[in-house]
Amino acid sequence: MLRNSCYKLVDGRQGQVASRTICESMGGRLALISSQEEMDAARSYMQRFSGRAFIEGTDAAQEGVWVDTAGDEIPYSGWTVNEPNGGSGENCKAIEASEVFDNGCIGSTWVTLGLCEQ
């Protein structure tokens, strides 16, 4: 939990867009990490779980330019060393306890959760 935010993991097997929809249906949003403080809080939360989760961020419209769902550039990246590295095949941002990486936008056996914040 960060200040007035709290996190919740949801089913992300259908991908980033479906995860976002689930978060919004619960009155929250897909977690948007915009500072080191938020990154630390999200990673701390993820340490309690085994898995990887979609978070807000995509570069599908323009490779290398990471934006939120409104199309606004995300000012803080928090990428792990050597990330993002997926080119046009990995356009969605994801997190686990120790890293932030790019991943395909459709759920997979690799990313099966979505990280919501409220």
CATH code at position 101? 3.10.100.10
Q: Which two tokens stand for residue 54?
A: 């979609």
Total residues belonging to the chain: 118
According to the model, what pLDDT value does residue 4 have?
Answer: 64
Instruction: Report how far residue 112's alpha carbon sits from residue 108's, in angstroms, rounded to the nearest whole number.
Output: 6
By residue range, what is the domain housing residue 96?
7-117
Count of structural domains within the chain:
1
Is residue 1 predicted with pLDDT exceeding 60? no
Share of the chain above pLDDT 70, in %: 97
102 or 109, greater pLDDT:
102
Rounded mean pLDDT of 57-86?
94
pTM of the model as a whole: 0.92
Q: Does residue 1 belong to any structural domain of this protein?
A: no
Q: Does residue 2 belong to any structural domain of this protein?
A: no
How distant is the alpha carbon of residue 86 from its chain centre?
Answer: 15
Bridge partners (DSSP) of residue 103 are 92
104 vs 4, 26, 61, 80, CA distance in Å?
Answer: 30, 24, 14, 17
